Structure formats: structure tokens, C-alpha cells
Amino acid sequence: MAAEAQSIASNAQAAGARRRANTYAALSWLAPGLGYFLLRRWVRGGLVLGAIGGMFVLGLMMQGQLYQLNQLGDLLSYLGWIGDLCAGSLYMIARLAGAGAGNAFTVWGNYGTTFLISAGLMNILAAADVRDIALGRKP
């Protein structure tokens, strides 16, 4: 009977840890680096915020294109939109501000589009890393 109660308590504790880790990962997706700050990993959070935010801003400065849901037509456009959307609030703020129209007639525009998508993909990797750290799978 005591072993059964202990098992139930440990399952509840594990469920709470998973819920906390998923919340940190979602917040980290929404605001790059926030999950690390919540875990008190100040240096890593600052580096992630600087790298992802810097790549996103550079992509916009190079006149990169942010993909929209209503202009999708082929598979690569869908993948580009998913990559941009992974940047979280950076993507949403840029879309609301009207940024990211893109300039396909310059080389810099193509590089900028790549920077924007890469920033989003790095943000998803950082959110997964935050989840692993919060679950104790990684030091």
C-alpha cells in the first residue's frame, strides 16, 4: 500500500516537471532566450537572445522576405513560412509592423530571407534545449 502511494506521488511529480518543462519551452519559443532566463542560465539566455535576435534583425535589414500564410503555393513556401513562424514573437511583431516585404532582385534579399528562416529554426532548437534542461536530461 505504501509503495503504491509512493508510486502515485512520483508520477504526479513527474507530470508536474513535464508541464513546467513544456511551459518553459513554449515561453522560450515565444521570446528567444526567455526559457534560459527562467532556468537561471543567464549567459546562455543572453547568447541565444543576441544570436537569434541579431540574425532576425540582420535578415530584415538585408531586405529578406517573411513568408505569409496567404501567399503559399509550393512546398518550399510552406517550409519557409514554418521556418519564419518558428521565430515566435519576432515574426509576429515584424508581420504586424509590415516588415519583411523582401527584395528578390538583390543578392542581399536572398541572404536576408535565409537569415530570417535560420533564426526561426535556431529558436526551435533552443526551445527544445530548454525543455531538456528543465527535465534534467541535460546539465
Beta-bridge partners for 67: none
Residue 28 burial (CB < 10 Å; 0-12/13-18/19+)? buried
pLDDT tens profile 16-57: 899 999 999 999 999 999 999 999 999 999 999 999 999 999
pTM: 0.88
User: pLDDT for 7-19, tens place per residue?
Assistant: 666 777 888 899 9
- What confidence tens digit (pLDDT) does each residue in 60-102 have? 999 999 998 876 678 888 899 999 999 999 999 999 999 999 8
For 109-125, what is each residue's pLDDT tens digit?
Answer: 999 999 999 999 999 99
